[in-house]
Structure 1
Amino acid sequence: MRIGIVCPYSFDVPGGVQFHVRDLAEHFIGEGEEVSVLAPADSETTLPGYVVSSGGATPVRYNGSVARLNFGPVTAAKVSRWLDHGRFDVLHIHEPMAPSVSVLALMAADGPIVATFHTSMIRSRTMQTAYPIIRPALEKVAARIAVSEDARRTVTTHIGGDAIVIPNGVYVDRFAAAPHRPEWTSTPERPTIAFLGRMHEPRKGLPVLAAALPAVLDEVPGLRLLVAGPGDPVEVTDGWPERVRQAAEFLGSVSDEDKASLLASADVYIAPNTGGESFGIILIEAMSAGACVLASDLPAFSRVLDGGAVGAMFRNEDPAHLAEQLIGLLKDPERRRELATSGQARAHLFDWSVVADQIRAVYETVVEGRLAAQTEPSTRWNRFLRGGAR
């Protein structure tokens, strides 16, 4: 099967959609499929052989974040050339309403099209404004996928119709096999907690975690906070109490291997996100690595953590409750082990071996539907002729 996958966000900057597209493409390539990915990327970016750059991206504020998108007539020409050259059996467009190569591919493409929606938004003026313009193109989509119930609700609210829920995938075994790093592993005197994300984005919740730490340090004075992700530590820590700054160690952006080791090494992984999350792939990665997870009670996170059965939760944007839950976990190693064990077992539900099979089934359905639609007129005419002969 020749599969074309479109990612609207630049491969220059790590993100959940980019990782999803990358891992899905590599899974199918490993199974012998022909896969090509189209995505924005700067010319100096080193890309995997299966990725075709649509050109450099421009930062645009989108869905509470800053996304790097690619649009315009030059980009549209590149999209058309990629589609003509690929002659794909199925085209899989991620975030088809994002103002980037996804919309351009949707408008230019013909044939079996699958669209995956990642975004979770209660209200979106952008979507409400854009929908009438791209509605004719959206009607070409043969199957819709949402990565979560929250993303599905966005589809039903802003676009109409429905979508099948297929979650994000994780290579569980890769995280489970990650080695502990001595410099990140806790000691009885110095337990470690970890945060991963774009630290300068308020919705990722680092300010909430920082506000909780004074109370935690009162009870666990040796605590270390390991922060991984892009951002300027000097800017981010402006206004933090001195002892909180002293407890924080900033690692910068880390490789996939180091991310897995960090998650495996920490006593608790904390996800203090305040909103805008439709799934929570980092929770699955942490669970896969055997980490005990503490997350805000966003609906998307609650579903991943089975309502708190496989990870602890605190009230969203409530530093005092975060501190209370974290202190309890740090002082109860047995509970941490129980949550980590149950979380790792649940993570296998999201392994790529499971998720990719579900996506493949959607591909096969739309391809077969397209073939049936193409042959239906002649088949009906032949039945009419046979009936007339009798």
Structure 2
Amino acid sequence: MRVGIVSPYSFDVPGGVQLHVRDLAEWLLGHGHEVNVLAPADEDTPLPGYVTGAGRAVPVPYNGSVARLLFGPLTGARVARWVEHGRFDLVHVHEPVSPSLSMLAMWAVEGPLVATFHTSGTRSRALLASRPALQPGLEKISGRIAVSDEARRFVREHIGGDAVVIPNGVYADRFAAAAPRPEWQGNPEAPTLGFLGRIEEPRKGLPVLLDAIPALLQRFPRLRVLVAGPGDPQVALAGRSPAVREACVFLGRVSDEDKARLLRSVDAYVAPNTGGESFGIILVEAMSACAPVVASDLHAFRAVLDDGWAGALFVNEDSRDLAAVLTDLLLAPADRADLARRGAERARRFDWDKVAGEIVNVYETVLEASPLRAGVPVDARPTRWWRGGN
């Protein structure tokens, strides 16, 4: 099968959708399929051989975050050429209603089209305003995938139609096999907690974790909080006490290898996110690495953690509750080990061998139902919504 995959978000900055696209492409390639990924990327960005860079993206506030998107007539022409020259059996776009490459590809494709919806946001004014232009493209989609029940609800309530739920995937064995780093490991008197995310993005919840540290230090004076991700530590720590500043170790951006090693090293992984999450891939990564997970009780996180069976939950944005849950867990090594075991068991549901197999089943169903497969003539020349040349 020859598959074209479109990422709306730039490969210059790591994110959940980009990692999903990358891992799916590599799984398909490893199982004998031909794959090309189209994604925004600066010219000097090192890209895998299967990725075609579509040009420099622009930071845009989107879905409670800042996404690097790429749009416009010139980009539309570039996307149409990619579709036309790719001669794909099927094109798979991610986040088709985001104002970026996926929307342009959705308009350009005339053959079998699959879309994955990652967002769980509410209907926005921009979505309402763009609905007339989006509708013809949305009607082309033959297979709809949502990464969670929350994302499926978004599709049903704000897009129309339905979607099959197939979660994000993780190479669970890679995290399970990672070697801990001694300097990141703790002990009963000096435990370590992990946090990964953009540290200046409010919905990632780092301030909630920082607010919990003073209470934790009363019981664990040598506690360390290992913070990995982009952002300015001085901004994050502004106004914090010297004790909180001393407890925090900022690692900056970490490689995939070091992310796995960090998750294998800490006594607990903390996900204090405050909203805007449709899944929670970092929870699955932490569980795969056998890290006990403590997460805010968002609907999406509850679903990943099986309503608290595979990870501990605390009241969203309640730092006192977070401190109490962490204290209880750190004082009970047997409970912590049991939670880690259940988390690792739960993570197997999200392994790429299972998840990608379900995605391929959608591909095959769409291809079997395609007019092209049924011998019905279809004009293969992409439709253009702009004026201009080739």
What range is the shorter-chain TM-score in?
Answer: over 0.9
Aligned to 1:5: 5
Aligned to 1:184: 184
Aligned to 1:65: 65
> Which one-letter code corresponds to 2:97 in the other structure?
M
C-alpha separation between the residues in 2 aligned to 1:125 and 1:289?
A: 40
> Could you give the per-residue CA deviations for residues 306-361 of structure 1, whole angstroms, max 9, x where no partner exists?
00011100000001100100111111111100000010011011000000000000
C-alpha separation between the residues in 2 aligned to 1:209 and 1:129?
A: 38
Q: 1:271 to 1:2 in 2, by over 3 A?
A: same
| Shift in Å, 1:283 | 0.3
Q: Is the 8 Å Cα contact of residues 146 and 163 (structure 2) preserved in structure 1?
A: yes
- Indicate the SS of the match to 1:307: coil
> Which one-letter code corresponds to 1:131 in the other structure?
R
> Which one-letter code corresponds to 1:283 in the other structure?
L
C-alpha separation between the residues in 2 aligned to 1:225 and 1:142?
A: 46
Aligned-residue CA RMSD in angstroms?
1.1
Identity of aligned residues (%): 62
Aligned to 2:219: 219
Aligned to 2:351: 351
Aligned to 2:261: 261
- Indicate the SS of the match to 1:8: coil
1:209 maps onto 2:187 in alignment: no
| Shift in Å, 1:122 | 2.9
1:76 maps onto 2:73 in alignment: no
- Indicate the SS of the match to 1:60: strand
> Could you give the per-residue CA deviations for residues 39-80 of structure 1, whole angstroms, max 9, x where no partner exists?
000011000000001100000000000000001122111111
1:295 maps onto 2:290 in alignment: no
> Which one-letter code corresponds to 1:199 in the other structure?
I
Aligned to 2:386: none
Instruction: Judging by fraction of residues, say which structure has more helix.
Output: 1
| Shift in Å, 1:125 | 2.0
- Indicate the SS of the match to 1:308: coil
Q: Mean alpha-carbon deviation: is it higher for 4-13 or for 154-163?
A: 154-163
Gaps of 5+ in 1: 378-390
1:234 maps onto 2:234 in alignment: yes
> Could you give the per-residue CA deviations for residues 96-136 of structure 1, whole angstroms, max 9, x where no partner exists?
01100111111111100000000011332222222222101
Gaps of 5+ in 2: 378-390
- Indicate the SS of the match to 1:78: helix
- Indicate the SS of the match to 2:173: helix
1:106 maps onto 2:70 in alignment: no
> Which one-letter code corresponds to 2:124 in the other structure?
S
Aligned to 1:381: none
C-alpha separation between the residues in 2 aligned to 1:184 and 1:96?
A: 40
| Shift in Å, 1:376 | 6.8
> Could you give the per-residue CA deviations for residues 209-268 of structure 1, whole angstroms, max 9, x where no partner exists?
111111111111110000000001011110112211110000000000000000010000
- Indicate the SS of the match to 2:36: strand
Aligned to 1:384: none
Whose RCO is larger (CA < 8 A, sep 6+)? 2
> Which one-letter code corresponds to 2:169 in the other structure?
G
C-alpha separation between the residues in 2 aligned to 1:4 and 1:373?
A: 18
Aligned to 1:283: 283
C-alpha separation between the residues in 1 aligned to 2:165 and 2:189?
A: 44
- Indicate the SS of the match to 1:234: helix
| Shift in Å, 1:373 | 7.1
- Indicate the SS of the match to 2:307: helix
Q: Mean alpha-carbon deviation: is it higher for 232-241 or for 267-276?
A: 232-241
> Which one-letter code corresponds to 1:303 in the other structure?
A
> Which one-letter code corresponds to 1:213 in the other structure?
I
C-alpha separation between the residues in 1 aligned to 2:374 and 2:342?
A: 49
| Shift in Å, 1:188 | 2.7
C-alpha separation between the residues in 1 aligned to 2:120 and 2:232?
A: 27
| Shift in Å, 1:372 | 7.1
> Which one-letter code corresponds to 2:43 in the other structure?
S
C-alpha separation between the residues in 1 aligned to 2:156 and 2:128?
A: 12
> Could you give the per-residue CA deviations for residues 176-226 of structure 1, whole angstroms, max 9, x where no partner exists?
000010110112321100000000000000001111111111111110000
> Which one-letter code corresponds to 2:41 in the other structure?
A
C-alpha separation between the residues in 2 aligned to 1:162 and 1:239?
A: 47
- Indicate the SS of the match to 2:317: coil
Q: Is the 8 Å Cα contact of residues 188 and 330 (structure 2) preserved in structure 1?
A: no
Aligned to 2:272: 272
> Could you give the per-residue CA deviations for residues 80-104 of structure 1, whole angstroms, max 9, x where no partner exists?
1111111100100000011001111
1:142 maps onto 2:103 in alignment: no
| Shift in Å, 1:371 | 4.1
